[in-house]
Chain A
Amino acid sequence: MTLAVEATELRRTFRTTTGTVRRTRKDVEAVKGISFHIEQGELFGLLGPNGAGKTTTIKMLITLLLPTSGSARVLGHDVVADTREVRRRIGYVFGGDRGLYERLSARDNLRYFSELYGVPPRTQATRIDELLELVGLTERDRERVEGYSRGMRQRLHIARGLLHDPDVLFLDEPSIGIDPVGARELRATIGNLVEMGKTVLLTTHYMFEADELCDRIAVIREGEIVAEGTPAQLKGRVSGGRVVEVETYGVLEETVAEVGTVAGIRSVAVEERGQQQVLIIQCERDAEVTQAVLARLGDVRVGRVTAREPTLEDAYVELVTGS
């Protein structure tokens, strides 16, 4: 069977310039020769921190950007040579509340894109009704989008991406900024898409979302894929260890770096929770690190100290921090 997506040594370099009179040029390598494939009907997650190259990769796959080198095919069609064929078969949805015609209603937004995707006029109204129902916007379909909440806009984005019944759907951080209820509904919608036989490439920052939805995940860091596998396989990379969480108040970066030097510690990440900075310490399973960590923290005010099993998020943090 033809692969849904196939990227081979995909690379993209951007040239940036600074200054007006004395212009300085600099080449930035956003994607550094990555290779991966997605089977038809698979939900593939591309995870990575901001600036890792996720969106650049998606933009190359959806024909918005030309690769500097390497190649990519979507359902067997080259993204450089067969752009129209690729565009017919893909849907593209990105996160955030922009990318819609504010003064048009949801229905008119969908009507416009139906025309651009060549949805036959006879089936257009029915298709739009189905999609509005799918994303739960039927009741407010004739209201202008400018009055929509972020969650409603995001659901409308999904409906737009599905208008022409694409085989492959690219979802670039679709749940960003959505409240927990909206995000849960969105995950259910994405789950339904896979049940319908769609192939989905999803980028997200939310690990539980990736864990719940994705068949396979690639973690991208600084333009390179640093790990690929099922969520269970990725979790397995840190399952030989243990996670200690230490609540601190006003810890300095230098102190965190010192904590990282304690024997048995693999990595330390800091998570801001209100006034607290929680140190998430990945360590060897049998290593007793608590006393040594508290000693390194010195005068820093410390709250609770807890230990737990690693999650996908821990695996992700370990991968993207390069430890």
Chain B
Amino acid sequence: MTSLRIFFIGGLMSYRAMFGWLNPWILVPSLIVSPICQILLFAYIGRSAGVGNDEFYVIGNALNYAAIPCLFAMGATIGGEREGHTLGIVLVTPARRIPLFLGRALPVIANGWGVAMVGVLAGVLLLDVHVPSGSWPAILLVVVVTSASCTGLGLAMGAVALRVRESAVLGNVLFCVLLVFCGVNVALDDLPGWMATVGSWLPLTHGIAAARLLADDSSLGDVTGLVTREIGVGAIYTVLGLALLRFFEGESRRRASLDRT
């Protein structure tokens, strides 16, 4: 019961507390305006270069932008606590670490999902992209899965905040890696083999591919393999994140790393 409450209620309150480092009046517009700008930028680059189509760029960039809350909000729930000197107090509590940190992922997944869907809807409205009405439920589901797998990577990144203060910088690097390697604006088939291989081990890649197929009128059954692989990749990063959290918490006790810059 206690662990369940920590997972659901504690996770939600921790997410609210995250606004301690960022004003919601800045955060919310940035999560709406920025993805739309990125979508428009690449869609018009594609149009002027005569490559791809609007739907390709809308789906790719909308899902890519889900990585912003998934990476940064997860990093902030741990790194922000370190800055606010609450991390030590949290770690002194007897709360079990898995519900404590996984619970923080739940609102972040919803946030990532919301950002991606705003991007897709903006593409439909502004660029006249057509998505078959029957595909929407499956797209909603695939975006949830993609946000969740991306949050797994965010958890691993957040764990690093137990060791170093610069987790936000790492977030920028990872966002860039996802943008280039996950087939966001250049199809995986057009990337060099090694880049495509790296991309297949990153979150987003299979989710974006599945969402594009669904937008092209494929059924959920047609993309089951891709969705399963997206879940698998997300699970790997989540387990890695939890292992890193355990390791770095131990390190913080051994090396007093919470007190260091």
A→B interface (CB under 8 Å)? 14-15, 59, 62-66, 84, 87-88, 90, 92, 96, 98-104, 108, 111-113, 115-118, 121, 146, 160
- The chain A residue with its CB closest to the CB of B24 is A103
- Chain B 212-261 residues near chain A, CB threshold 8 A: 252-256, 258
- Chain B residues with CB under 8 Å of A62's CB are 92
Known: A62-B92, A92-B92. A101 touches B17 (CB 8 A): yes
Contact A87 B2 (CB under 8 A): no
Stretch binding the partner chain, chosen from B4-12, B111-119, B184-192: B4-12
Contact B13 A111 (CB under 8 A): yes
Complex CA distance for A217 and B86, rounded to whole angstroms: 29
- Chain B residues with CB under 8 Å of A160's CB are 89
Contact B94 A104 (CB under 8 A): no
- Chain B residues with CB under 8 Å of A146's CB are 20
Contact A98 B6 (CB under 8 A): no
Contact B86 A104 (CB under 8 A): no
Complex CA distance for A189 and B2, rounded to whole angstroms: 30
Complex CA distance for A227 and B252, rounded to whole angstroms: 31
- Chain A residues with CB under 8 Å of B100's CB are 116
Contact B20 A103 (CB under 8 A): yes
Check: B48 CB closer than 8 A to any chain A CB.
Answer: no
- The chain A residue with its CB closest to the CB of B84 is A98
Known: A88-B94, A99-B85, A103-B16. 19 other contacts (CB 8 A): A15-B255, A62-B92, A63-B92, A64-B91, A64-B258, A66-B253, A87-B92, A98-B84, A98-B86, A99-B86, A99-B88, A99-B89, A103-B19, A112-B10, A112-B13, A112-B17, A115-B5, A117-B94, A146-B20
Contact A14 B256 (CB under 8 A): yes
- Chain B residues with CB under 8 Å of A99's CB are 84-86, 88-89
- Chain B 10-67 residues near chain A, CB threshold 8 A: 10, 13-14, 16-17, 19-20
Complex CA distance for A14 and B86, rounded to whole angstroms: 22
- Chain B 98-146 residues near chain A, CB threshold 8 A: 100
Complex CA distance for A108 and B16, rounded to whole angstroms: 10
Contact A84 B13 (CB under 8 A): no
The smallest beta-carbon distance between B71 and chain A, in angstroms, is 21
- Chain B residues with CB under 8 Å of A14's CB are 256
B→A interface (CB under 8 Å)? 2, 5-6, 9-10, 13-14, 16-17, 19-20, 84-86, 88-95, 100, 252-256, 258
21 contacts between A and B (CB under 8 A): A63-B253, A66-B253, A87-B92, A88-B94, A99-B85, A99-B88, A100-B84, A100-B86, A101-B17, A102-B20, A103-B16, A104-B20, A111-B9, A112-B13, A113-B93, A115-B2, A115-B9, A115-B10, A118-B2, A118-B94, A146-B20
- Chain B residues with CB under 8 Å of A121's CB are 5
Complex CA distance for A90 and B91, rounded to whole angstroms: 13
- The chain A residue with its CB closest to the CB of B254 is A66
The smallest beta-carbon distance between B81 and chain A, in angstroms, is 9
Known: A14-B256, A102-B84. A116 touches B93 (CB 8 A): yes
- Chain B residues with CB under 8 Å of A90's CB are 92
- The chain A residue with its CB closest to the CB of B16 is A104
Known: A65-B256, A99-B84. A104 touches B13 (CB 8 A): yes
- Chain A residues with CB under 8 Å of B10's CB are 112, 115-116
- Chain B residues with CB under 8 Å of A63's CB are 92, 253
- Chain B residues with CB under 8 Å of A102's CB are 20, 84
Complex CA distance for A143 and B34, rounded to whole angstroms: 32
Complex CA distance for A66 and B6, rounded to whole angstroms: 26
Contact B253 A64 (CB under 8 A): yes
- Chain B residues with CB under 8 Å of A118's CB are 2, 94-95
Known: A115-B5, A115-B13. A101 touches B86 (CB 8 A): yes
Complex CA distance for A115 and B92, rounded to whole angstroms: 13
Contact B85 A104 (CB under 8 A): no
Contact A116 B16 (CB under 8 A): no
- Chain B residues with CB under 8 Å of A65's CB are 253, 256
The smallest beta-carbon distance between A165 and chain B, in angstroms, is 13
Identify the interface centre among A63, A66, A115, A118: most chain B CB within 10 Å of its CB. A115
Complex CA distance for A10 and B45, rounded to whole angstroms: 65
Contact A101 B84 (CB under 8 A): yes
- Chain A residues with CB under 8 Å of B92's CB are 62-64, 87, 90, 92
The smallest beta-carbon distance between B7 and chain A, in angstroms, is 10
Complex CA distance for A111 and B254, rounded to whole angstroms: 30
- Chain B residues with CB under 8 Å of A92's CB are 89, 92
